[in-house]
Structure 1
Amino acid sequence: MRLHKGYAALTIALLAIELAIALFLHDPIIRPYVGDALAVVLVYAGLRAVTNAGVLPATLIAFAIAVVIEFGQYFRVLAAIGLDHDRFARMILGSGFDPKDFIAYASGAVAVLLVERYRRASRAAAGIRTVSPSSDSSSTI
């Protein structure tokens, strides 16, 4: 197992933002849609922090996880396992199916791909070699 410190820090920061959104925002845009887009970025960053998955595979896995969770909401999985009244479970896994959420998840995935493409191009323009999993910015656990 590896730990990429940059992605780990991003994961922690995004988790704090997501928790703040879930606990303190009750608006019709940021909480449901920006929060859902950020959830895909959060899962992506977490995957990149602890695996050697590349940008595209990690993005697709993060998107797929979001889609599976959304379908879990459609099929009322939390109610089926007796967690529909658990505030923490509802905060993490959501409580209501909304097909518009798929657009938010796709937006989060596209944002990841665009930011990573920009980062790669910026590094190339600056003459910085792409960081490999065994470089100093990661450590093995």
Structure 2
Amino acid sequence: MFRFEKIYFTFTVSLFLIEVIIAVFIDDVVIRPHIGDTIFVILLYCAVKSFFEVKTIPLVVAVLLVCYMLEVLQYFDIIGIMGLKEYTLAPIILGKSFSWLDIIAYTFGAVMIIWLEKENNYNKDIKGNT
């Protein structure tokens, strides 16, 4: 069902800005590839939750599958196949190469979402009963 959730939208915009900052200003071996991938999963989740009422676990699984699919496409050099190697944004958006560490980073982001949502719902239940 369609609905607008201001808090998730705020998280989406904030996480997007963080991702842009990482992409533009940071070129290292930890933050850009791994923290960026972890944040990306949370960003996609928040973007969907901003506009649709979806249960946590099915959405986390869907977002995780999308991220895994993007990683598999990197394995098959989708940017090269599509002839997009000379464009600056294509590798930033789609990624350059497959990495098992990226899969782990995506999975960690999904686990963080589940944990944060569980904590958030737990705190709502406590406050609601007081």
Contact 1:18–1:35 (8 Å) recurs in 2: yes
**Shift of the alpha carbon at 1:109?**
0.1
**Shift of the alpha carbon at 1:86?**
1.4
Structure 1 portions without partners, runs of 5+: 129-141
Q: Superposition RMSD on alpha carbons, in Å?
A: 1.1
- Which secondary structure state, in structure 1, belongs to the residue aligned with residue 128 of structure 2? coil
**Where in structure 2 are the equivalents of 1:1-141 lying within 5 Å?**
1-127=2-128
Q: Could you tell me the TM-score, scaled by structure 1's length?
A: 0.86
1:28-71 Cα deviation digits (max 9, x unpaired): 11111111010000000011112221111111111111101000
Instruction: Name the counterpart of 1:139.
Output: none
Separation in structure 1 between the aligned mates of residue 24 and residue 94 of structure 2, nearest angstrom? 14
Contact 1:3–1:50 (8 Å) recurs in 2: yes
- Which secondary structure state, in structure 1, belongs to the residue aligned with residue 4 of structure 2? strand
Structure 1 runs of 4+ with >2 Å offset = none
Q: Could you tell me the TM-score, scaled by structure 2's length?
A: 0.93
Greater mean alpha carbon deviation, residues 83-92 or residues 73-82: 83-92
Higher helix fraction: Structure 1 or Structure 2? 2
- Which secondary structure state, in structure 2, belongs to the residue aligned with residue 2 of structure 1? coil
- Which secondary structure state, in structure 2, belongs to the residue aligned with residue 100 of structure 1? helix
**Shift of the alpha carbon at 1:2?**
2.6
**Greater length-normalized contact order (CA 8 Å, ≥ 6 residues apart):** 1
Structure 2 portions without partners, runs of 5+: none
- Which secondary structure state, in structure 2, belongs to the residue aligned with residue 115 of structure 1? helix
Separation in structure 1 between the aligned mates of residue 102 and residue 120 of structure 2, nearest angstrom? 27
Separation in structure 1 between the aligned mates of residue 73 and residue 85 of structure 2, nearest angstrom? 12
Contact 1:48–1:54 (8 Å) recurs in 2: no
Number of equivalenced pairs: 128
Amino acid in structure 2 at the alignment position of 1:43: L
Separation in structure 1 between the aligned mates of residue 62 and residue 23 of structure 2, nearest angstrom? 23
Amino acid in structure 2 at the alignment position of 1:18: E
Higher strand fraction: Structure 1 or Structure 2? 1
